[in-house]
Structure 1
């Protein structure tokens, strides 16, 4: 008998060793040793002692800081992501509870009549009809032996999914902050453009007064006045278009910060702005810092655990089922020794034929695992692409912005020369019109490039994970 028990134990141990999820290994992705950096861009070094999380403070804008804090406190998108994390943590608690025994208490109070015509249990003993009370109180326990790893795999999958939800929450925080900063800097860039247009309109009105005065004196024809009026009208049209765009960004900021758009407003501001240096680090650090990469990796771990859950269907389900209770027809005798009843046993079930369902379930889980591995690699490649794009854009825009400021200075000199020549009668008014339009275009281009440079900085912050 002992030999049979040893054989049975050996068989169970061998089956248990074959069951369960495969050993998890993080997918391997080829990562370059460094980024391609173009002049004049300079990468800041990560500072381990710096405050983590509030990356937007690098821009030194108190209004942006206040908006970011308000978004973190009131954004419904962030609240939804937090609720999903709470759900996933509750799922982990449910999975942990599956490893523990379940105890159920049940009771019944009934008065019943037993049929005299019920089937006989003994041909020599007739049945009688009786009416009596029945009082029962039972305690039943159920404890599944996780010999083949189904419950442990379920626990591992729930834990990995919860960690994925935590990474998703961080990704939502990062995306929310980046979207808010992008909308804010778009709005501030439009503030600069609107100020440029206001200065141009003031200059064009003075030029119009000059042209009209010369026309009234008979020094020029009415063409100069008409040309200047046409340029002024076109500039006023651009003001209305920019105000419309500014309103759209203002409404977007209201939504991101959890406020009704009709009740929200941001006053124009024209303070100097520069793009801060962003600590980029090495490409390999992207795997540790970006929350979307962490989320994709945790999805791989959860899918790996799902294989273990599917494989457990090949093996028997074994559970311990003890019962303890009392049964009496008299309530006052319910807890007497003769009323005691109990049972102790083990339940085992094994599917013998399922038409290939278990095989299909395992194949489905394995295909899901391969899909998450492919998604993880795609996420890493996309992350490196976004960082490199932001680095390339930063270098290009630095050069373009420096050149645009030189062009703006040149356009101012050209306008002064054209105005002087016109007042001296050495040039036509068309030269003044052309110089004014050139200056306006140069100033607006410089404002747009500054806005793009700030947006690329925000994109770089998001690409490297936001926190360092």
Structure 2
């Protein structure tokens, strides 16, 4: 009967709750659906951006981040807890030894009034082997192992999620810094242009060709642009300090040299919504939390049933060391203890209700994480498509603004218009160039955000090409190819 009961366990068996998964994303040009596989490598996704300095920062962050070390330590704790829970499946065996010399009181209570007590001094030597084994009739141990297994898997998913968040935070801060570099370069070129214009209008003023108003207007424009430089430098220093912290480096001893180069987001295969759930480590963590909470219901429910322990022991005991291992010194016992709670004022029922409520909370948390995952992925997909179109339009606006400035400068030099037209054109060019730089920075940020929303990279998801990336073994990122963005 014990063997049959051991096949049962208190509490419900775990079944993941159903979630409403959309069939596809709301795609818009130039997106097309790819077919990534869940078994594909999820990283290092940042290599797709083709930036050696970003690669170095990511490796430094993975090696030195205290946040990642903390998540790794929690995983080690969870695995140790699982090992401790698994130990409950086996007998606990112990050995004991005793050696003492003692005196018995002559005035101790009598066991027989006809036989008086005497005071004696003697030795006592004992050696015994004990064992204890819990018959898991109600499945308490089994449910405890299930809970510890799920908790260890949850900690492993949390570690992966921490790694993903760390690498995306590094990339986000890095691209924000590079976007600031590009904007600072735009301002530097605008300042050079405005200073040349100021010198030109000053020379004309000295010749009496224009009034002092033109000089004052150009000087005001230059001063305003110089003020924007200081604000951008402040922003850049904050991104640099963030990178220092993320890479485990004190901010005062960390610098990133300025670099102005085109920022181009890589191709990111998007797959289908259900694959995002399979890949996102935060979703996996929330699902494992449900499994652990469900198992805790069984652990709490097992208290309704008897606790049965087998307690065998064997050993030897003698007053003389020379006869300790004689057959007459043998002693043993074989017993079973069983305890059953009769009345506890509702404590066990309250514990079960508490664990059930905890499970309901993990179900709600899981559904919230799933909905957030769909929202973030859809935001990234639609946002990146919109930013692609906005970037192309912003570049067209920059070219138009440059032509307007050339025309305004020519008309002013020819006396056909006032210098106000030139100032307006300069300001418009500065605005459009900064807008183009900001939009491109947002494209990079959204690309990183989409990688995080999809749970990482798919190494083998892009169509194979003859040009392979030697660093990753993945095909070189392609733009506008069938099946990818």
Say whether residues 1:112 and 2:121 are aligned partners: no
Please name the residue that 1:200 is paired with: 190
Say whether residues 1:429 and 2:419 are aligned partners: yes
Say whether residues 1:392 and 2:382 are aligned partners: yes
- Aligned mates of 2:292, 2:38 — CA distance in 1: 31
- Aligned mates of 2:228, 2:364 — CA distance in 1: 48
- Aligned mates of 2:187, 2:39 — CA distance in 1: 44
- Aligned mates of 1:440, 1:112 — CA distance in 2: 99
Q: Residue 445 of structure 1 is aligned with which of 424, 435, 440?
A: 435
**Paired residues for 1:46-125 under 5 Å:** 46=36, 52-125=42-115
Structure with greater helix percent: 1
Q: Secondary structure at the match of 2:89?
A: coil
Say whether residues 1:455 and 2:445 are aligned partners: yes
**Paired residues for 1:313-332 under 5 Å:** 313-332=303-322
Please name the residue that 1:145 is paired with: 135
1:321-351 alpha-carbon deviations (Å, 9 max, x no partner): 1111121212222222222211111111111
RMSD: 1.6
Please name the residue that 1:210 is paired with: 200
**Paired residues for 1:103-252 under 5 Å:** 103-252=93-242
- Aligned mates of 1:333, 1:192 — CA distance in 2: 92
Q: Is the 8 A contact 1:43 1:278 kept in 2?
A: no
Q: Is the 8 A contact 1:156 1:305 kept in 2?
A: yes
Please name the residue that 2:347 is paired with: 357
After TM superposition, the score normalised by the length of structure 2 is 0.92
- Aligned mates of 1:300, 1:324 — CA distance in 2: 44
Deviation at 1:46, TM superposition (A): 2.7
Deviation at 1:48, TM superposition (A): 7.7
- Aligned mates of 1:248, 1:212 — CA distance in 2: 38
Q: Secondary structure at the match of 1:419?
A: helix
- Aligned mates of 1:242, 1:100 — CA distance in 2: 65
Say whether residues 1:380 and 2:370 are aligned partners: yes
Q: Is the 8 A contact 1:291 1:465 kept in 2?
A: yes
**Paired residues for 1:276-295 under 5 Å:** 276-295=266-285
- Aligned mates of 2:32, 2:209 — CA distance in 1: 56
Gaps of 5+ in 1: 1-8
1:268-304 alpha-carbon deviations (Å, 9 max, x no partner): 1111221112111101112210000000000010011
- Aligned mates of 2:294, 2:38 — CA distance in 1: 34
- Aligned mates of 2:9, 2:288 — CA distance in 1: 22
After TM superposition, the score normalised by the length of structure 1 is 0.95
- Aligned mates of 2:163, 2:290 — CA distance in 1: 22
Q: Secondary structure at the match of 1:395?
A: helix
Deviation at 1:417, TM superposition (A): 0.7
1:139-177 alpha-carbon deviations (Å, 9 max, x no partner): 111111111100010001000000000000000010001
Q: Residue 258 of structure 1 is aligned with which of 216, 224, 248?
A: 248
**1:193/1:280 CA distance change after superposition, 3 Å:** same
Q: Secondary structure at the match of 1:461?
A: helix
Give the length in aligned residue pairs.
458
Q: Secondary structure at the match of 2:337?
A: strand
Deviation at 1:74, TM superposition (A): 1.2
Q: Is the 8 A contact 1:103 1:140 kept in 2?
A: yes
Deviation at 1:35, TM superposition (A): 0.2
Q: Is the 8 A contact 1:41 1:398 kept in 2?
A: no
- Aligned mates of 2:70, 2:412 — CA distance in 1: 64
